Structure 1
Amino acid sequence: MRTRLPRWKTQPRRRSRPSRGPTTSRRRTQTQADATVDAAAAETAVRYAYQHWILVDLDKDLRARLVENGEINVDIIDSGMQAARGIVEFARVVVDEIRFTASDRAEVTFRLQWRDSPSPYFPDALSGTAVFQNGTWRISGQTLCLLAFGAGQDCAGAVLQLLTVPIGYSWAGDPATPNTISVPGFGEWTGSGTASLTIATEALAGMSKLTASEIDLVLASGRFGAGAGAPYVVANQRARLADVDGVTDLVYLRADDVVVHIHATNLTGQQITELASAIVG
């Protein structure tokens, strides 16, 4: 009498298929190499970051590791992508060239497509940058914001950082993200006595396309608190400075359409101007 083997022992083993669920950061963002350690691997990682951050249904934690400073504003970035679904859902990025300018930076030439045709917002090739941050290559915040503003959207999840804090002042925000300001957002530093420093940001898409006099008019509005001041220039950008009774306000427009408003007590206009040059991102 022949013994019948269980069916699982007589059938060939089938290869498991990869999951079709949401892509997770655990599976896709192992530690990567900078351009000095492995240029070929770095190029592959830059290409991956550019091609995947725009996928609207991408796992939000993975997207955060493909965007500069993304971990700071995971939910803000995700909300912004969902709000812009109608614009980005069928958008794709084609990377044409990657050129490393340092071990942790690269210049990227790329094109945006929509339904396999050139994007109506960006029909021509674009120039962007990538950065190596916290072990992964990412699309830079500046490139991300330029794309958002060009499409008439706010730059969700952009982050600015104050590199040099005035002597005697200390960060009053989340200790996990010191000296950082989201766009839009607000940061605060405290000093001795009544001394205080705040930096607020907001994105005004298309503002940099206005004439100099039109920008001056907007910056002088009551919206920014520097109406009592005078036109000013910060790093070749239009600004407005008000210094009244020990309270100083400096509001200026960055080239990426982000308006920065610095409000301080016990700091001079010159000190605040120097402070503005220490805000990067």
Structure 2
Amino acid sequence: MVSQMAMVLRRRAAALAATAVLLCGPALAACSDDASSGGRTATPSPSAPARPADPAAARTEITRNWEAFFAADTPPAERVKLLENGEQMEDVLAAFAGNPQAAATTAKVTGVAFTSATGADVTYDLLAGGNPLLPDSRGTSVLQDDTWKVSVKTLCGLVKLSGVTVPGC
């Protein structure tokens, strides 16, 4: 029992370390603290539908885009397109794109629940070398510029897990 607990604690520590490596490179200081909402998805009105017109297609796109966003072989320019307001986080994304430890980190989407026609809660496992580091993690996806993207809120949540304060988060 003690060895199982030690293994769980080691996995949690590894998860936090991997998150820190991925998201807290030297470019974090370069993040802009842009308080403007330019390009942000508008909050749906009370009469907005509770889900997209084609939920199956949206679910497929969310899964594909999330897994691509966290894949090591996704080019930085593509990651920018898969992150809400990605242009504002470009330096952070570029910093961990070439990190060798990031090469083993991926995400596997396990669930999508729509909160509106332009928003969804996403359940995913953050994996390192195929092993769960942060299983059953929760994030959000937003429809921005006709593309379902990983929300800045999710990225900032992962950054906060690492214990680092980032301007703009």
Return the TM-score normalized by structure 1.
0.39
Cα 1:78/1:128, change in 2 over 3 Å? closer
- Distance in 2, matches of 1:61 and 1:142, equals 20
Q: Secondary structure at the match of 1:101?
A: strand
Q: TM-score, normalised by structure 2?
A: 0.62
Q: Is the 8 A contact 1:56 1:82 kept in 2?
A: yes
Given candidates 121, 135, 139, the residue that maps to 1:128 is 139
Q: CA deviation at 1:77?
A: 3.5
Q: Does 2:113 align with 1:102? A: no
2:102 is aligned with 1:80 = no
Count of matched residue pairs: 119
Alpha-carbon contact 1:129-1:139 (below 8 Å) kept: yes
Segments of structure 1 that go 5 or more residues without pairing to the other structure are: 1-34, 153-203, 206-256, 261-280
Instruction: Decide whether the 8 Å contact of 1:132 with 1:138 is kept in 2.
Output: yes
Question: In 1, Cα distance between the equivalents of 2:81 and 2:136?
Answer: 25
Rounded Cα–Cα distance in structure 2 between residues aligned with 1:56 and 1:149: 21
Deviation at 1:259, TM superposition (A): 6.4
1:112 corresponds, among 123, 126, 134, to 126
Distance 2:75 2:166 in 1: 27
Give ranges in structure 2 of 5+ residues lacking alignment: 1-50
Give the 4+ runs in structure 1 shifted more than 4 A: 257-260
Deviation at 1:54, TM superposition (A): 1.5
2:70 match: secondary structure? coil
Larger Rg: 1
In the TM superposition, what whole-angstrom CA distance separates every residue of 1:73-107 from its partner, at most 9, and x where no partner exists? 43x14422236x24321111111110000000000
CA distance in 2, matches of 1:65, 1:259: 20
Distance of 1:47 and 1:107 partners within structure 2: 12
Q: Which has the higher contact order (CA 8 A, sep 6+)?
A: 2
The change in CA–CA distance for 1:259 and 1:51 in structure 2 (over 3 A counts) is closer
Taking only aligned residues, the RMSD between alpha carbons, in angstroms, comes to 2.2
**Counterpart contact for 1:110–1:125, Cα < 8 Å:** yes
Residues of 1 paired with 2:89 and 2:109: CA distance?
26
Distance in 2 separating the partners of 1:41 and 1:80 = 32
Identity %: 27
- Cα gap change, 1:57/1:66 in structure 2, threshold over 3 Å: closer, same or farther? same
Matches within 5 A, 1:164-203: none
Are 1:56 and 2:101 counterparts? no
Query: Residue 68 of structure 1: which of 49, 62, 84 is its match?
Result: 84
More strand by share: 1
Does the CA-based 8 Å contact 1:70-1:77 persist in structure 2? no
